[in-house]
Structures are given as structure tokens and as C-alpha cells.
Amino acid sequence: MKKSIVVLFFLACLFIILSCSDKENSREEIPNQIKADSLSETVETKKAVTASDIQIEKQLLYDQYTLDDTYPYKDTVRSFQWDKVKERLAYLENIQQEPTEWALLQNYKNLNGEAPLVKTYKRNEYKRIADTLGVERYQSIPLFLPEDSLIGVRYARDGSLVKILDNDSLSKFVEIETTDIGGNWLVPRKYIKRLADSVTFNKAIVVDRNNENITVLEKVGSKWLIRSMNPVTTGLHKPPHQQETPLGMFVIQERKYKMFFLVDGTTETGGFAPYACRFTNGGYLHGIPVNAPRTTFIEYSPSLGTTPRSHMCVRNATSHAKFIYDWVTVGGTIVFVIE
């Protein structure tokens, strides 16, 4: 009898030991599995978005003067370059995958001070100083190498989106990473405008200089929805007064119900452009210009969608300019200018 009790006691102890061991193994495996799942999700989140991943769908909010994907122009055919649009949108999604402190480079009309001369510069066709890549000193921002804050290397355009990398409040410079030209740079603090921490770039406007058209897109869920597809007139390269619309990536910086302009080469007001949204230097998205002494708006011009005619700006039908004016988020809408 005593022997039986001893055997039963031994078996009970063995059962308890094995049960505890199983629980320990279970406690060890669960966290490891959670970590593995978490790591998998992190890798999934940071996977680079490609142009083929971008889903575009037409859901127009503005439907006047709408162009087809391809359309005739004189003796040729023009189109919306959806492959390039998708590339730009994929890039926009990729740069937002990680938390970032965003800022704008600003120097409209040299209000933040004339940029100092860069190391190598030239006179361009407009008789103004520009860097070797053609970006003018006027209204621009000097970029310095991180190891040399004495002499700038090149100029960046007003309205450029940048990432803040190092914002030492005791320094006159802010270290940034540019999104359009690439690289890390030092920029004098006075040219930096920080954006809200909550900013999300889910609105984009793509201006095509080659086809003279514009598309307005908004990301909703996993798709980019086309809100409008219209003809435009971009800037004409005609020194000394008219300039082409610069290629690149910019941010809408301000809106003006009426943007007044001067007669070329004078200080005389020549008229105004309605519903103007500025994205770089003196470059605006706006409606049909109204030449003084006229004061009433003009809705449409047969020159839209033909050849460049503007002074750096992007001219739209006035009702389309109003749609953009009401739709954009200042400091949160991207403008891509492509060729």
C-alpha cells in the first residue's frame, strides 16, 4: 500500500513538472511569434512602392473641358503620360512611409534675403545670375555642403519640399534632405518654413509641359482618384521677360483671389489673373488673365492646350482655376511639373 502511494505521488509530481514546462515553452513561443509577426508587418509597411503599384481611377469633381487620355492636336496626338504620373505618385508615397519633419524652402521676391553667390555661377539668357544647372539666384535658396558652410554649391527653387534632418536651434543652418534634386545640404535658417506635423500629401497636381495639360489627383484609401483632366498653357521661354514653367516638385504656398501683374519691363499694372495658387517663385496656377482696363473675368481662351504663352505660370480655364483654388490645401498640395 505504501509502495502504491509513493508511485502515485511520483507520477503526480512528474505531471506537474511537465505541465509547467509546457507552459514555460508556450510563454516563450508566443512573444517570439508576436515579434516575428510585428517584424513582418514592419517590412511590409516599408516596402518600396513602384509605379505599377499605383492605382488610378477617374472620379471627376470638375467635368468641364475634360480631355481624353489621348486626343488629337493639329497633325499629331497628345496624351496624359500616366506612366510618368504614376512614377511621381509612387515617389510621393515612398517619401512619406516614415515619420518626417517637413519644411519648405522659401524666398519669394527675395523676401528672406538675396541668396549669396555660389561657388560657380554664370549669367543666363535673362542676364541674371544662375548656378551651373540653370537655377537663378533671384528668389532662390543657397545650398551648402554639410562639411562647408562658407560658400554655397548651388541654388534650390522657392517652394521646394525638404526633410529636416538636424535642427540645432543654436546654429544658423538647418541640415535638410531635398526631395526633388537629392542629397543632404545645409540651408540658412531664414529660408526654412516648417510645415505642420500633421501634414499628409494626399493631393497632387501634375502639369505636363510637353502636352500642355494638367491632371488633379487625390488619394482616397489605396487609390489615386482623378478629379480633373484639362488643357493648360505653360510658361514660354522668351527672354528677357517670359520664362518657362520650371520642371520639378513643388508645394502650393499661397492663394490669391486676384494676382496682379505688371506690363513687361515696367512698373505699370497690366491686369490680373483670377484664382491664383502660387507654387514656385512667381509661378501660379491661375485662370485666364484679364488685361486692364477690363475688370470682369474671362472664362476660356482658345490658346489653352496649344503652345506655351505664360510668364512661368500655368494658365487654366477660369472655372477650373477656381476649382483648384477651392480644392487645394496650402502647404499640403504637391505640384509636379513634367516634360
Q: How far apart are the first and last CA of the chain?
A: 97
pLDDT at residue 107 in the model: 98
pLDDT value for 181: 84
pLDDT computed for residue 46 by the predictor:
76
Q: Which of 37-46, 60-69, 80-89, 206-215 has the lowest mean pLDDT?
A: 37-46
Q: Supply the mean pLDDT for the chain.
A: 89
Pairing of strands 269-280, 290-291: antiparallel
Question: What's the mean pLDDT in 46-57?
Answer: 95
User: According to the model, what pLDDT value does residue 28 have?
Assistant: 39
Residue 61: partners with Cβ closer than 8 Å, 6 or more residues away: 227, 228, 323, 327
Span 85-112, mean pLDDT?
97
Model confidence at 17: pLDDT above 90 = no
Q: How far apart (Å, rounded) are the C-alpha atoms in residues 162 and 168? A: 16
Burial of 167 (0-12, 13-18, 19+ CB in 10 A): middle
Q: What is the mean pLDDT of residues 108-132?
A: 96
110/108 Cα distance (integer angstroms): 5
**Does the pLDDT of residue 174 top 90, yes or no?**
yes
The domain locations on the chain are 51-96+200-338, 102-194
DSSP character for 176?
A: E
Mean pLDDT over residues 82-97, rounded? 97
Which pLDDT value is given to residue 14?
A: 45
Average pLDDT for 19-29: 44
Residues in the chain: 339
Asked whether the predicted pLDDT for residue 34 surpasses 90, the reply is no
Tell me the per-residue pLDDT of 240-297, one tens digit each, with 9 for 90 and over.
999 999 999 999 999 999 999 999 989 999 999 999 999 999 999 999 999 999 999 9
| Cell (9 digits) for 292 | 486692364
Please give the grid coordinates belonging to residue 77: 496626338
> Does 51-96+200-338 match 102-194 in CATH topology?
no
One CATH from 3.30.43, 1.10.600, 2.30.30, 1.10.287 for 102-194: 2.30.30
Query: Residue 209's pLDDT is what?
Result: 98
Say what percent of the chain tops pLDDT 90.
83
The answer to whether the CB of 260 falls within 8 A of the CB of 271 is yes
Residue 226: pLDDT above 80? yes
Domain spanning 51-96+200-338: CATH superfamily: L,D-transpeptidase catalytic domain-like (2.40.440.10)
Q: Which of residues 257 and 8 earns the better pLDDT score? A: 257
Give the confidence band of 94 by pLDDT, cuts at 50, 70, 90. very high
In this model, does residue 84 exceed pLDDT 60?
yes
pLDDT at res. 288: 98
Q: H or E segment at 193? A: strand 192-194
Q: How confident is the model at residue 18 (pLDDT cuts 50, 70, 90)?
A: very low
- pLDDT at residue 168 in the model: 82
Average pLDDT over residues 135-147: 97
In one-letter notation, the amino acid at residue 125 is E
**What confidence score (pLDDT) does residue 45 get?**
55
When pLDDT is cut at 50, 70 and 90, the band that residue 8 belongs to is very low
